[in-house]
Each structure stands twice: as structure tokens, then as C-alpha cells.
């Protein structure tokens, strides 16, 4: 272990309350993502960023803020240094709603410090991780360590609703060679996560009066003047979903990555709408009249793929499946389903940093020493902002503290893990940025 790391760890040990109190301060500011719930005093992302900005300026960072959405700013802070050893520490400052706050054992935004934990919404997801990044920088400066490479801290909005804060930072060129995203990993090291996109499949039928349904499903003589039968798009969609399940199972059986659970490449039908007439928003216009044979169904899919898969290949495979499904039906051959990719602009590229990459081995080595046991190196089952940096050519890893109540009630972060995370992040920064 280098003298610089020893000095920084000594600084953290001398003031272990710094990261704890900072976490509590951030939790006490409600910053619920307004896409989920809006109320006075509840959506205070800008107030969180004001605290972060003041703290980082005091550490000598040059800070920059801009609105991703009105009143919802990203913040990027930089210590100058070389680009070859540039490094990003990233965390999101939006949180999910609390639900019934009266059912919590402690007030959801109390930031209470008790029983070895900091309590409140966002404590583990992920204001504790944000605080650990800031505390690591605080300890580096306090120890008098000068970094050779540029260190950036990104605190971004909207991760919980699709990562549009990180996406915006990436689009603006706020990049580096490597990055650490301090999401809660319970002390494990996570260099891989699957990709995710939302896709809409629109299935077309032919509208008709439901009273004439017999004309569609029971053999009728073809006599002059016979009404053209309707084609029920909901029934076509039912057949499609059955075929989709078989296709999904085939993908789960035939795709594999060593760090993620078997069968991760799932395709979840999350929203389905059926009715008559196609509206300007791409959904059925009439969804309240069962007397109409419906002529349109939209199915919104949450489509996961593996860290070692390319989106272009996944896209081509799915489009081939839909094409062959439609080709087996005389109606759909002439009226094929429509596929809309990147629905609502939601698209997470895969993350697949090699386990022997210096960034990964650095985090593993320091976590092993600090935690007194080797961390598990594993993949992430969900998605994080690491995806957006990876898609822009940055090499990321995910590492952060442990806690409970993740997206549930009685959320908390473990204080020992906060201090351990701060130490591991600080040492990883020194390894990657170097010193001068």
C-alpha cells in the first residue's frame, strides 16, 4: 500500500463522522423524482445539489451546474489533472417515493443516525454512495495528496426514471478514461450489467361491430353481400405473447455470461393496451367500448440483454422473430406488426468491464483489505448510470455501501460500510489518477 493511501486512510480514520453526517444531511433534503410524485417541498434536487456544490468548492473543485429538466440540475466538479489518468466518481441524487410514510419506523427524511445506521429515503440508494465519493475527495485533500490525473465528481438527476441525467452529462462530453459509480453493492465489486431497452410492438387487426363476431370466428358461407369479417387485434396479441414467451425462454437457455444469473436476458411485457383506432401517441384511441372488435394493440416490453451482447444483434434477432411470427398468419403477412425501439428514449447500453482490468483489480484489492474478506465479483441484475458512461467509451465499475429498505420502507445505510466504501473509493482514485 502506498504512502499516499496510508495517509488518506489515516485522515478518514481521524474523522469517521464526516461521511456519516454528510449522508444524514443529504437524506434530510427530500429529492423525490418528480416523474413519480410531486408535492411542495418534496422534489428538492436543486437543494441537494446546492449542498454538494458548496462542499466541493470548499475542497477546491471547480463546479458546474445545468438543468437537465427545469429546476433539476446536474452537477459536475473537477480537480484539474491529466486526461490519460482521468477518473469520474458518480452518483444520482434523486430518490423514489416513500409510499405510506406513516408505516415507516422513523420519518422517511429524518436522516436519523441510530443503531449503526443512517436512516431515511435515499440513504443507501444512493446518497450514502454520493457522500462516500465526496468524503474520499475530502480525505485526499486533507492528507495533502496531489493527484496527477483529473478527478471529476458527477452528481446527476433522474437515474430512477431512466438515467437521463447521466445521459445528458455524457452527451455534453463530461467523460473520463474510467469511472466508479457508487451504487449500493453490499461491498461487492460489479464490473458488468446487462443492457436494457424499452420496445413497443403494435399489432394491427380490423375493426368491426362485436355483434358480427360470429362472422369472424365461425365458418360462414361466402355469399354475395357477406360483411367482411373483423380481425381481433387482442386475440392476435394473445398469440403473440404466447410465442414471445417461447422466444424469451429460448434466449434465456442459449445466452450466458459468467457474472450474471442464468436467464437474465428476459423480455417483460410491462404494458398492454387494446382498442380501436390508432391515436397520435401511438396507442389505441378507444379503449372503453367492448362492442368494437379492436383493430390495434400496443405491447410495451422491458427488454434485457447480456453484458456481452450487442444491441444491434439483439435488435436483429427480435425483428427476425417478429417477422417469422407474422409470416405464419395470412392476415399478419399483409399487415405486419410495427416495432418501435428505444421507447421513451430509454436505452441502457451493456457494461462489460473485464474482471482483470486494472480498475477492477484495484477495487477488489482495496475492498479485500478494508473489509477483511475478498468481495464477490459479480454482475448487476438491474441497470445503473454506469451503462451510459460505458456506452460512451468510459471504463466503469460499480462499488458502494450496504444497507436495507432499497426502494422499500425503513431505508438505511450501514455506517461501517460507509466508512469502508470511502476508504476503497479514495484508494482507487489514487491508484487510477496517480500522484505528483
**What pLDDT does 227 receive?**
79
Size of the chain in residues: 436
Among residues 197, 185, 194, 195, the alpha carbon closest in space to that of 91 is found at 185
Per-residue pLDDT of 83-104, as tens digits, reads 999 999 999 999 999 999 999 9
pLDDT band at 222 (very low <50, low <70, confident <90, very high): confident
The pLDDT value recorded for residue 331 is 96
In whole angstroms, what is the distance from residue 12 CA to residue 423 CA? 7
Q: What is the pLDDT of residues 149-183, one digit of tens each?
A: 999 999 999 999 999 999 999 999 999 999 999 99
Is residue 264 scored above 90 in pLDDT?
yes
Average pLDDT over residues 253-272: 94
Percent of the chain with pLDDT over 70: 100
E strand intervals along 316-410: 338-340, 347-348, 351-352, 377-380, 395-398, 403-404
Residue 77, SS3 per DSSP? strand
Q: Which of 45, 112, 159, 248 is catalytic?
A: 159
Catalytic residue list contains 94: yes
Report which of residues 211 and 190 the model is more confident about: 190
> Do 172 and 65 contact (CB within 8 A), yes or no?
no
Q: Supply the pLDDT for residue 317.
A: 97
**Which candidate in 45, 94, 248, 295 is catalytic?**
94
Average confidence score pLDDT of the chain: 96
- Per-residue pLDDT, 138: 98
Average pLDDT rounded to a whole number, residues 22-29: 98
DSSP state string for 280-335? TTSSEEE-S-TTEE--EEEEEEEEEE-TT--HHHHHHHHHHHHHHHHHTSHHHHHS
In this prediction, residue 220 carries a pLDDT of 82
- pLDDT (tens digit per residue) in 362-398: 999 999 999 989 999 999 998 999 999 999 999 999 9
Q: How confident is the model at residue 244 (pLDDT cuts 50, 70, 90)?
A: very high
Determine the pLDDT at residue 401.
Answer: 97
Q: pTM here?
A: 0.93
Q: How many helices (H) and strands (E) does the chain have?
A: 12, 21
Concerning whether 159 is annotated as a catalytic residue, the answer is yes
Q: Is the pLDDT of residue 226 over 80?
A: no
Amino acid at each position: 500500500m502506498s504512502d499516499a493511501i496510508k495517509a488518506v486512510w489515516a485522515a478518514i480514520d481521524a474523522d469517521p463522522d464526516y461521511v456519516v453526517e454528510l449522508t444524514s444531511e443529504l437524506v434530510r433534503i427530500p429529492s423525490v423524482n418528480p416523474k413519480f410524485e410531486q408535492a411542495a417541498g418534496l422534489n428538492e434536487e436543486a437543494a441537494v445539489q446546492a449542498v454538494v456544490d458548496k462542499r466541493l468548492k470548499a475542497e477546491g473543485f471547480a463546479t458546474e451546474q445545468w438543468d437537465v429538466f427545469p429546476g433539476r440540475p446536474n452537477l459536475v466538479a473537477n480537480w484539474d489533472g491529466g486526461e490519460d489518468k482521468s477518473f469520474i466518481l458518480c452518483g444520482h441524487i434523486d430518490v423514489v417515493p416513500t409510499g405510506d410514510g406513516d408505516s415507516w419506523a422513523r420519518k422517511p427524511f429524518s436522516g436519523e443516525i441510530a443503531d449503526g445506521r443512517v436512516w431515511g429515503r435515499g440513504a443507501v440508494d444512493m446518497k450514502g454512495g454520493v457522500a462516500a465519493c465526496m468524503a474520499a475527495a475530502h480525505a485526499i485533500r486533507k492528507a495533502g495528496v496531489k493527484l496527477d490525473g483529473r478527478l471529476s465528481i458527477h452528481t446527476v438527476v433522474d437515474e430512477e426514471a431512466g438515467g437521463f441525467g447521466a445521459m445528458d452529462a455524457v452527451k455534453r462530453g463530461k467523460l473520463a478514461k474510467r469511472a466508479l459509480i457508487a451504487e449500493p453493492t453490499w461491498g461487492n465489486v460489479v464490473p458488468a450489467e446487462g443492457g436494457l431497452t424499452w420496445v413497443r410492438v403494435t399489432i394491427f387487426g380490423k375493426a368491426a361491430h362485436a355483434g358480427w363476431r360470429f362472422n369472424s370466428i365461425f365458418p360462414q358461407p361466402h355469399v354475395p353481400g357477406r360483411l367482411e369479417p373483423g380481425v381481433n387485434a387482442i386475440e392476435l396479441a394473445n398469440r403473440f405473447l404466447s410465442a414471445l414467451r417461447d422466444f424469451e425462454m429460448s434466449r434465456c437457455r442459449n445466452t450466458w455470461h459468467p457474472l450474471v444469473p442464468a436467464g437474465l436476458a428476459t423480455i417483460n411485457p410491462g404494458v398492454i393496451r387494446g382498442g380501436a383506432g390508432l391515436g397520435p401517441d401511438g396507442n389505441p384511441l378507444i379503449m372503453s367500448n367492448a362492442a368494437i372488435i379492436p383493430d390495434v394493440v400496443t405491447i410495451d416490453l422491458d427488454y434485457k440483454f447480456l453484458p456481452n451482447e450487442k444491441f444491434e444483434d439483439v435488435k436483429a434477432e427480435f425483428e427476425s422473430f417478429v417477422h417469422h411470427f407474422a409470416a405464419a398468419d395470412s392476415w399478419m403477412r399483409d399487415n405486419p406488426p410495427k416495432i418501435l425501439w428505444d421507447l421513451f428514449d430509454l436505452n441502457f447500453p451493456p457494461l462489460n468491464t473485464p474482471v482483470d482490468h486494472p480498475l477492477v483489480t484495484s477495487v477488489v484489492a482495496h475492498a479485500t483489505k478494508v473489509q477483511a474478506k475478498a468481495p464477490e465479483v459479480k454482475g448487476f441484475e438491474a441497470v445503473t448510470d454506469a451503462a451510459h458512461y460505458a456506452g460512451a467509451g468510459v471504463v466503469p465499475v460499480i462499488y458502494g455501501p450496504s444497507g436495507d429498505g432499497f426502494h422499500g420502507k425503513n431505508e438505511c445505510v450501514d455506517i461501517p460500510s460507509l466508512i469502508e466504501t470511502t476508504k476503497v473509493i479514495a484508494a482507487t482514485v489514487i491508484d487510477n489518477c496517480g500522484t505528483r
